[in-house]
Structure 1
Amino acid sequence: MTGGAGGIGGGVARSLAAAGHDVLGVDRDAEGLAALPDAVETAAVDLRDEAAVRDLLADRPLDAVVSCVGGYEIAAIEDTSAEAFRRQVETNLTAVHATVSAALPTLRERGGRVVVVGSMVGSVALPYHGAYSAAKAGLDAYVDALRREVGPRGVAVALVEPGPVPTGFNERAATAVEAENGEATGDEGPSGEGPYADAYRAFEGYSPAATDVETVVERVVTATTADRPGTRYRVSRRARWLPRLARVLPDRVYDRLVRAGLPGGLLWRLLHR
């Protein structure tokens, strides 16, 4: 269980352990891992470190890998440094690959499965989430390719796509973008006067209507334990209907719809009157 110290990952680790499964919770947040019950074995590892991941998983009899790693920073693409972009790709995509590729030999031998927690932004790219959207779109394609490669070899692959979830994710993102923009663009950013300052201010204190963590945890546990898991679980109504609209609406119409739903947009103001 990677991302085991997080809200979703921790919930999944607890649920699987309570059901009698042997669970290894992995995260770089050692303090968060310490809060897991004793029934969950833990390891504090940076999942972007391929050698460390391979050492951790060597000779372990794995039946499933559940990947729940992620993180993002709110910033316009113009304000996103190459380092910030690289950091988000490494966290949201490269870390998943490091874990999955290290585990696949064992999973093939044991007829195991891979469950990846992605995001609806893999299908619906959001303004000011460009690097995160790109990484999650890459993750979506990665999971599709993986399923087509290893499915015939006895490994089931499932992608879980929640909408917004109240796990502190957005608060951490706001903190990250303030630090990044303060370093990269001087006084531009959430409280500055740059060309995107109004958008950054609109995101201050942003807490979107969210799917409760327990619902997402239940879907991940189902994908992990079902005899015949689905290939894709879109958890919230938003995660289900936004990608469908993207397929039928003209791009410019859909662009306006997405912008209207952002903080400060017309749809946002109507829903928060």
Structure 2
Amino acid sequence: MAELSPSTPCTVLVTGATGGVGSAVARALHADGWTVYAAHREPVDAEALRDAGLTPVRLELTDEDSVAVAAEQVGPRLDGLVNSAAIMGQGPVELTPAEAWRRQFEINVIGQATVIRAFLPALRASGGRIVNIGAVSARVPPPFFGPIAASKAALAALTHSLRAELRHQGVKVTLVEPGAMDTPIFATADEASADLGWAGSPETQRHYARALDAVRATAARQPLGPVAPAVDAVVRALTARRPATLTTTGKDGRSLALLRFLPDGLRDRLVLRAFGVTAQAFEDPELTATASAARPR
């Protein structure tokens, strides 16, 4: 595929530029000659971003005023916007606190829409590109990853609607859906879950204890993929003459995406087995004994 070779320097804003994928994307584009506006939350990160040759932009996705100030700083023209900032929530739907759901959607969906809305005039002025970083779990949600999968499914729907809305306005939109990558997001998700704790009574939590242990053990054995394929997909989306509307990266990501064509029951069995979850994982001897004793004779 022929790629663009602009005669003038291109500009791009990358959100989540201090994270795993966002940082790698920002540095790759800088190496290719782009002027990279690197969005960050903490003031202490600005110096490291400057040292890397990037232009730091303070931006808090959940604060519309912060986003508006960032848009003014970037200016009236922008060639690319990469929405990489995200958080990861995980755990059983029944045990995930409402606060965790709200935070997940506030950042992964509403925050993305806020950034897009603020920077669209500058992107429209230059005929620019938008690249949203989703997740393949949006199409085939694994057990106990409902919060992140739900938010990424919402982001995917937002992206597809946006692509159609901007089709005749000169702004192209791409969704990149990576598989599991070796980034700090999993550790951050574990910390967030520990801080918020689980919803539900201890008895309710016991229903999931063995299954969660099985998923954690399986995940610990699975190697995480590199970020390079996702970075390459983002760069192609920003530079190709006819960018793909959707790109799935990573061997595990492509394999998981294929499962969506299977009947639901078969897909559920295969996914549960892949994550080490069996029917026995939901059997608690103490709960079973209590339920048996409570049945009328």
TM-score (norm 2): 0.81
Which amino acid in the other structure matches residue 114 of structure 1?
Answer: I
Matched, 1:246 2:260: yes
Change (3 A) 1:256 1:32: farther
CA distance in 1, matches of 2:230, 2:45: 19
Equivalent residue of 2:81, what SS?
Answer: strand
Q: Answer whether contact 2:27 2:52 (CA < 8 A) is retained.
A: no
CA distance in 2, matches of 1:45, 1:136: 21
Which amino acid in the other structure matches residue 54 of structure 1?
Answer: A
What's the CA shift string for 1:80-104, capped at 9, x where partnerless?
Answer: 1211101011121111111111111
Q: Answer whether contact 1:174 1:204 (CA < 8 A) is retained.
A: no
Partner of 1:165: 181
1:114 is displaced (CA, Å) by 0.2
Partner of 1:63: 79
Using CA pairs under 8 Å that are at least 6 residues apart, name the structure with larger relative contact order, 1 or 2.
2
What's the CA shift string for 1:218-263, capped at 9, x where partnerless?
Answer: 221121222321111111233223223212x211111111111114
Partner of 1:95: 111
Which amino acid in the other structure matches residue 119 of structure 1?
Answer: A
Aligned residues: 261
Q: Answer whether contact 2:40 2:57 (CA < 8 A) is retained.
A: yes
Change (3 A) 1:38 1:178: closer
CA distance in 2, matches of 1:121, 1:257: 15
The equivalent position to 2:211 in structure 1, one of 190, 194, 199, is 199
Q: Which has the larger radius of gyration?
A: 2
Partner of 1:39: 53
Change (3 A) 1:202 1:60: farther
Partner of 1:225: 239
CA distance in 2, matches of 1:158, 1:5: 22
What's the CA shift string for 1:159-182, capped at 9, x where partnerless?
Answer: 111100001221221222222225
Change (3 A) 1:237 1:265: farther
Equivalent residue of 2:89, what SS?
Answer: coil
CA distance in 2, matches of 1:111, 1:158: 14
Partner of 1:72: 88
CA distance in 2, matches of 1:177, 1:31: 25
1:204 is displaced (CA, Å) by 4.1
Partner of 1:24: 37
What's the CA shift string for 1:136-177, capped at 9, x where partnerless?
Answer: 111111110000000211101011111000012212212222
Identity of aligned residues (%): 34
1:186 is displaced (CA, Å) by 7.0
Q: Answer whether contact 1:8 1:217 (CA < 8 A) is retained.
A: yes
TM-score (norm 1): 0.88
Change (3 A) 1:135 1:264: same
What's the CA shift string for 1:34-81, capped at 9, x where partnerless?
Answer: 433342011232111122101210234211101101111221111112
Q: Answer whether contact 2:134 2:155 (CA < 8 A) is retained.
A: yes
Partner of 1:259: 272
1:211 is displaced (CA, Å) by 2.0
Partner of 1:2: 15
Structure 1 unmatched runs, 5+: 267-273
Q: Answer whether contact 1:2 1:67 (CA < 8 A) is retained.
A: yes
CA distance in 1, matches of 2:214, 2:189: 14
1:200 is displaced (CA, Å) by 2.8
Q: Answer whether contact 2:229 2:250 (CA < 8 A) is retained.
A: no
The equivalent position to 1:134 in structure 2, one of 150, 161, 169, is 150
Equivalent residue of 2:253, what SS?
Answer: helix
Q: Answer whether contact 1:181 1:188 (CA < 8 A) is retained.
A: no
CA distance in 2, matches of 1:180, 1:127: 20
Equivalent residue of 2:37, what SS?
Answer: strand
CA distance in 2, matches of 1:119, 1:70: 11
Partner of 1:237: 251
1:264 is displaced (CA, Å) by 5.1
For 1:147-158, what aligned pairs fall within 5 Å after superposition?
147-158=163-174
